[in-house]
Amino acid sequence: MNFPVSNRFLNALSAPILAGLRHELTAVSLRPQSVLFENGNPPEYAHFITSGVASIVCPLKKGSAIEVGLVGRASFPESHHLLGPAISPLKCFMQSPGTALRMSFARLERLFVREPSLLHLVLRSVQSDFLTASQLSACNRVHAAEARLARWLLMIQDQTGESGINVTQHAIGEALGVRRSSVNAIAVKFQGEGFISYRRSFVQIVDRKGLEATACECYPTVRKLLNDLYVRGEAEVSFDAASASQMSPSTLPAQVASASKGAESCR
């Protein structure tokens, strides 16, 4: 699954809207566990993910947090904040290292109110996120950890276009709401069956079909939601960079070439 390094939401924008955004975008590198927004606070930036994957979680009082969504190159994790002034209980951080095109959230909010086509695309993205979160809520309630881990790994691959992910057993356990010992036991089993290759903090998918056969019934549903997100009007606007550390205006496509004056690390 080799995809150009791009963001599907930006690809689906009309040329005039994209032209209006190009001077607002800055290329950034995102370290693992980088927080994109905190619960209870409006986001400072919108991050159009171009590589890696972000995890949206619902923090609980005792310190645990359950994952309710994954966002990769399909969209941007701050989209639901555009819908109104409600205080969000959700937090978002990078599950794996990645890159993004970043802009002021306040500026995007003003464009969202003013541009009907942008509003329409955001609503489609948020609807897809809501339906996915609803499916995962049912999944986490009734399906076994083994089937859910298979589904989660497949979702990560779908979001990133990569067969490997840098992630710890602890992070997987938190995402799925299971103990680390359970994650380890399932990972050992999957590796023995040839589904994955696993070493410390890195999982490589080896047999996707084997994982699909093991995953719960929720996976086809969430995959279809992702695939159908931009079934009309998506243009190929590629964001091509060898690595986040080498991002520069020359590595961006012509449509967004002036979006960045250089890469900066996300703090």
- 144-216 and 1-143+234-267 share a CATH fold: no
In the chain, the percentage of residues whose pLDDT exceeds 90 is 61
Structure tokens at 17: 């809207």
95: CB partners within 8 A, 6+ apart = 32, 52, 53, 54, 55, 70, 156, 165, 167, 171, 175
- Region 35-47: what's the mean pLDDT? 95
pLDDT 10s digits, 76-108: 999 999 999 999 999 999 998 999 999 999 999
Look at residue 155 and tell me whether its pLDDT is greater than 80.
Answer: yes
Fold annotation for 144-216: Arc Repressor Mutant, subunit A (1.10.10)
* CATH no. for 1-143+234-267: 2.60.120.10
What is the pTM for the complete model shown?
0.81
The structural domains of the chain, with segments of one domain joined by +, span 1-143+234-267, 144-216
